[in-house]
């Protein structure tokens, strides 16, 4: 609560920083300070503090820094971990091999054997409906094949636990936030240099407090920069691994393709389970009716 209160107070004070025209006017009436309204007296006292706005901005940045860093870290980790998972998943590799083989079989004699396909094609599988039963799609059929021949593929999501989070990450926004933090640290360093070069009230703890903070904050930010660099490097390697162009595919789109496919995959598995239960229930009823008719 104390931290939140400090952030809120700093933000409110930043909103009410007096304009130069206001401070000039107040300065003309400083001899009447005892007769000023409380609000005007407060503004006058603020205007007398050297670099008041810069100090408030530094305080606000300090209060928000840990929270902003904590918000960025899981996003960076999601990109890094999801990239590793996609490259390492044996279940995914096997699934893609089956999809490719099935596609080549279906297109036999039309285009020849393909050596690969765009990952965006994954989400078209569920749109290809059976000509016999419109409730059955190619995805349903593939899952039935997996059930009989490759049952381990059915638990593919165990290999790709960080995909949903990675699919939510906008890399441009993440870079923007990291740049804001970097610029904020630079502004704080500049303000510290300014304050160190000027005579201060002995009771003013701004320099000592901010010195300690910036030492720790700079180290934490440097670690986060290294993590982001590693995540980007691994992401680019993953794009190349799947034959995608790094200039045309952002993480939220790339991971989103797989995440959407896995959601459809789960829904199709559930569809098949529901169909089987319905069929079993219908067969059970038919047997019961046959027994009743036999008794009569």
Q: What domains lie within the chain, and their CATH numbers?
A: 1-48 (no CATH), 90-159+253-295 (1.20.58.2220)
**What are phi and psi for residue 79, nearest 5 degrees?**
-65, -45
Other residues' Cβ atoms within 10 Å of the Cβ of residue 264: 17
Question: Which whole-number Å values give the CA distances from 109 to 73, 98, 103, 164, 293, in the listed order?
Answer: 50, 19, 12, 38, 54
**Per-residue model confidence as pLDDT tens for the chain (296 residues):** 344 545 555 555 555 555 555 555 555 555 556 665 565 566 656 666 666 778 888 888 998 999 999 999 999 999 999 999 999 999 999 999 999 888 777 766 555 566 668 888 899 888 877 666 667 889 999 999 999 999 999 999 999 999 999 999 999 999 999 999 999 999 999 988 888 877 677 777 878 888 999 999 999 999 999 999 999 999 999 999 999 988 889 999 999 999 999 999 999 999 999 988 988 888 788 888 777 777 76
Instruction: Evaluate if pTM is beyond 0.85.
Output: no
- The secondary structure of residue 18, as a DSSP letter, is P
């Amino acid at each position: 609560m104390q931290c939140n209160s400090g952030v809120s107070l700093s933000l409110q004070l930043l909103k009410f920083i007096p304009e130069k025209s206001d401070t000039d006017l107040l300065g003309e009436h400083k001899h009447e300070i005892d007769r000023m309204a409380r609000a005007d007296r407060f503004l006058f006292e603020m205007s007398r503090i050297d670099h008041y706005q810069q100090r408030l901005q530094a305080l606000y940045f300090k209060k928000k820094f840990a929270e902003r860093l904590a918000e960025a870290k899981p996003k960076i980790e999601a990109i890094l971990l999801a990239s590793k998972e996609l490259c390492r998943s044996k279940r995914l590799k096997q699934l893609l091999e089956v999809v490719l083989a099935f596609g080549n079989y279906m297109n036999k004699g039309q285009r020849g054997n393909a050596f690969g396909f765009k990952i965006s094609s994954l989400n078209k599988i569920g749109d290809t409906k059976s000509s016999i039963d419109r409730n059955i799609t190619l995805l349903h059929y593939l899952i039935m094949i997996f059930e009989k021949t490759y049952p381990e593929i059915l638990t593919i999501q165990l290999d790709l636990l960080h995909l949903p989070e990675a699919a939510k990450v906008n890399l441009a926004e993440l870079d923007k936030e990291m740049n804001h933090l970097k610029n904020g640290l630079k502004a704080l360093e500049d303000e510290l240099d300014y304050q160190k070069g000027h005579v201060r009230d002995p009771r003013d703890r701004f320099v000592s407090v901010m010195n300690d903070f910036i030492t720790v904050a700079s180290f934490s930010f440097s670690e986060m920069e290294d993590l982001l660099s590693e995540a980007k490097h691994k992401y680019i390697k993953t794009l190349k691994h799947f034959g995608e162009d790094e200039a045309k595919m952002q993480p939220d789109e790339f991971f989103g393709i797989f995440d959407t496919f896995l959601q459809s995959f789960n829904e199709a598995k559930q569809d098949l389970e529901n169909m089987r239960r319905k069929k079993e229930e219908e067969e059970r009823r038919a047997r019961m009716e046959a027994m009743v008719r036999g008794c009569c």
